[in-house]
Structure formats: C-alpha cells, structure tokens
Amino acid sequence: KPKVVVVGRSNVGKSTFVRLITGRKDVKVGKKPGVTLKINEYDMGEYILVDMPGFGYMAGLPKKIQEKIKDEIVHYIENHADEIAAAVQIIDAKAFFEIVERWEERGEIPIDLEMFDFITDLKISPILVANKMDKIKKEEWDEVLDGICEYLKCQPPWHQWKFIVPAILKEGKGIEEIKKKIIERVRLFKKLRN
C-alpha cells in the first residue's frame, strides 16, 4: 500500500490532524512535546498513514535529540521515497513567520522550509496545511497565505497552488479538503506505478 507521511514541527496540530483523520481517540493532543519519538503507522484502507514525530525546537529538549528526530524523519522518508504517495506538512500559519525570520537572522535555513524542499526534491507530492488560521483575521488570510507561498518559492496568489490548504483543525475545518487531496494523490500514485 502507498504511504502518506505526516510531518510538522511540534505543537502545530499534527496530533489533532491524525486524530481527526484516523478517528482514533488514543492519539494524544496537546501532549508534552518530545515524548513520541515513535513513528506511528495507521492502515487507512487505500493507504498507510505514517505519523512522524514532531521536529524542531521543543522546550526542555536538548539540541542533540532535536537533531536525532530530524535525522530519523529524513532517513525514513529517503528510505521509503518510492512508496510515499504524498506528504502532509502542517505548519502553524501564525507562528510560521516569526520562526522563519528568527532562523534567517541567524543565517540558518528554517527547518520548515528545509523539510518542504527535502520532500519536493524527492518528487514527493506535498500537501501543505496552514493550520491555526483562526489566529489570523479573515481579511489577512490572503496576505498570510501568499507570504507562505513566497517562502516556499512559489509565485502568489496562493490559491493557484493546489497543495496549500488553510485549516482550523481544532474545529475540524479543512479536514475534508485534506482527505480529498490525499485520496487524489494516492490514486494517481497507484495509477502511475502500475
């Protein structure tokens, strides 16, 4: 079965997403970051959903462990690239800019962008979920989403890029759109593989 991987830094709403899409209540939301180093796989019928540990800065988590988590994710994706139909990357739309700017000031490549580039370099189809849109005023949505687009080196307007999905996952908003895109990618992947 094709795999669909779920990635994102910690606290972006990744567990909320996995809980929504799998319907499993045993996925812990708002848990202490860094406790799940485990890669969880869920059989979704047409595909396997692979929940990766959250990456990036987490309070109280040594830099060394952060690096280890990132390496683990990178290795998994590299080793399974030819079985991966899509990668759902979740970002916190509000926190995104602050984080990106902070990293760029230090002359480092922001981890979210690094992950996005890594996925697309491997020719894996991305689904970028801009979560927590409830924290952004409705009239600023387009501006924020266009800004995210530019950071990803994609020309605005954002809505011409079918892989960007704004969401408010804590209210279940955006989940149907994500599900639809996953199924599209999985079916296309199967067709191209045969």
What's the distance, Cα to Cα, between the start and end of the chain in Å? 13
Residue 58 is a binding residue for ligand GDP (CB under 6 A): no
Q: Which amino acid is at 50?
A: V
Binders of ligand GDP in range 13-52 (CB under 6 A): 13-16, 29-31, 33
Q: Which stretch binds ligand GDP (CB under 6 A): 70-78, 131-139, 152-160, 179-187?
A: 131-139
- Are 52 and 64 contacting, i.e. CB atoms less than 8 angstroms apart? no
**Binding-site member from 66, 89, 125, 131 for ligand GDP (CB under 6 A):** 131
Residue 7 is a binding residue for ligand GDP (CB under 6 A): no
Q: Which one, 2 or 90, has the nearer CB to ligand GDP?
A: 90
Q: Cβ neighbours of residue 81 under 8 Å, at least 6 residues apart?
A: 122, 123, 124
Q: How far apart are CA 22 and CA 7, in angstroms?
A: 16
Residue 132 is a binding residue for ligand GDP (CB under 6 A): yes
Neighbouring-strand partners of residue 4 = 49, 86
CB of 174 to ligand GDP, least distance (A): 8
**Binding-site member from 8, 53, 126, 166 for ligand GDP (CB under 6 A):** 8
Q: Which one, 58 or 84, has the nearer CB to ligand GDP?
A: 58
Exposure string of 124-159, with b = 16+ CB inside 10 Å and e = fewer, is bbbbbbbbbbeebeeeeeeebbbbbbebbebeeebe
Q: Which one, 2 or 51, has the nearer CB to ligand GDP?
A: 51
Residue 168 is a binding residue for ligand GDP (CB under 6 A): yes
**Binding-site member from 32, 38, 135, 180 for ligand GDP (CB under 6 A):** 135
Residue 10 is a binding residue for ligand GDP (CB under 6 A): yes
Chain Cα centroid distance, residue 125: 12
Structure tokens at 150: 């530019």
Q: How far apart are CA 108 and CA 111, in angstroms?
A: 9
Q: How far apart are CA 115 and CA 50, in angstroms?
A: 16
Question: Which positions touch ligand GDP (CB under 6 A)?
Answer: 8, 10-16, 29-31, 33, 54, 131-132, 134-135, 168-170
